[in-house]
Amino acid sequence: MSTTFDALIVGAGQAGPALAGRLTGAGMRVALVERKLFGGTCVNTGCMPTKTLIASARAAYVARRAADFGVQINGPVGMDMQVVKARKDKVTLDARHGVESWLKGMAGCSVFEGHARFVSARSVLVGDTLLEAERIFLNVGGRAAIPDMPGIQDVPYLTNVSMMALDVLPRHLVIVGGSYIGLEFAQMYRRFGSEVTVIERGPRLISREDPEVSSAVQAILEREDITFHLNADSIRFAQRGSDIAVGTTVGHEVLGSHVLVAVGRRPNTDDLQLDAAGVAMDARGYITVDEQLRTNVPGIWALGDCNGRGAFTHTAYNDFEIVAANLLDGANRQVSDRIDTYALYIDPPLARVGLSEAQARQTGYAVRVGMRPMARVGRAVEKGETDGFMQIVVDAASQKILGATILGVGGDEAIHSILDTMAAHAPYPVLQQAMHIHPTVAELIPTLLGELKP
């Protein structure tokens, strides 16, 4: 059986459903294919469930600090992991059902559940149904990458996906990977009550960041009694009774009740039969796209994690906005128009926008830098959360803001005033002269700009 549509969307992650809404609103007949869970990584195994778990972990952390604020709690603070999981599941299921109901009730949209495989550049097979369209949009996401490390197939390791099914408290959680996903789980489970050890191959955590950021993040987590093993070469796995041994260098072995492997992501492109459509990929399996997210095959676009142009919910959604604006509004939006921005959701969060100081100097800018410890931010002092710092980097010649880092309470929200100023291409005095609300974290950004130094 063959059915023809104006547009075909493969994947119901962050870009796909929104794009279906715009296309059907423009009068197109749209087919959307989803083979597993509506909402993609963010709704099911990423942002929403993990941040819900982080909220439970923070509640436990604050309760244990109650005496610091004059609050008396009789007895120790414990965790009911089944309740924690049930709360997380409800948040996820509500969001997933919301996306599914929206799509299935959308006028002009036909939803097909199954695995999509290309037959040609204009046709995709889902089960026994052949779907044809002149426009095809791929929003297939990504998954955890599992390198071929010795012994890994012989032990019951966890990924960010299988962690979502856990309803017990690990006695000792060993995390292989000291980057964004691994560190969020590390702090979360330490606050739940697990012993936590992080093993990282590199010389420092989150190597994408400047060294002072890596050091500050490590210090924050070490104060919560998380153990780190850096420069961990030759990582290997073995079963030791009921425990899992994670070995690094000769004679060094960590025994854990549970092991989480969080060493990176890979795109879900290996079983789409892209060769049947002639769609090009790079060496890592990411679909090659241009500045408007078009593949090398006219009429086929790739959005979200599968195109290698961003690995976040907000970049996937911005991909949708770019494609929709160009296709339906006559715009000429490009991926390079957006400013890189993201956050690491440990507590306190790390928020980043634009270039770091090291990146700006390497690029050749004559920079001026403002720096302030969170211990000198009134809002942080009042809340008793003074870990971290604020940093902003500007171009001395043009007065344009090049980037900023806020590692501290409220940083994930405060960073947006800097991002918005950058997006408006305004010189930093515009932000410096703005009056912000007191007491907030953001009110210190103008002060930060008044303290710029070479």
- For 270, left (φ over 0), alpha (ψ -120 to 50), or beta? alpha
Residues 23-39: tens digit of each pLDDT: 999 999 999 999 999 99
CA distance 113 to 31: 11
CA distance 41 to 312: 10
CA distance 428 to 396: 10
Regions of the chain where pLDDT drops below 50: none
Residue pair 34/124 in contact by the 8 Å Cβ criterion: no
Residue positions counted in the chain: 454
CA distance 419 to 417: 6
Q: Which helix (H) or strand (E) holds 343?
A: strand 341-344
Residue pair 316/303 in contact by the 8 Å Cβ criterion: yes
Our CA dihedral for 164, 81, 90, 114, rounded to 10 degrees, sits at 20
Structure tokens at 119: 């037959």
Domains of the chain, earliest start first: 2-144+266-337 (3.50.50.60), 152-263 (3.50.50.60), 341-449 (3.30.390.30)
CA distance 411 to 373: 12
> Regarding beta strands 253-256 and 109-113, do their DSSP bridges make them parallel or antiparallel, or are they unpaired?
unpaired
CA distance 435 to 443: 8
- Give the pLDDT of residue 2: 67
pTM: 0.96
Residues 246-292: tens digit of each pLDDT: 998 756 799 999 999 999 999 999 999 999 999 999 999 999 999 99
Residue pair 261/146 in contact by the 8 Å Cβ criterion: yes
Structure tokens at 333: 């939006």
- Give the pLDDT of residue 252: 78
Residues 398-413: tens digit of each pLDDT: 999 999 999 999 999 9
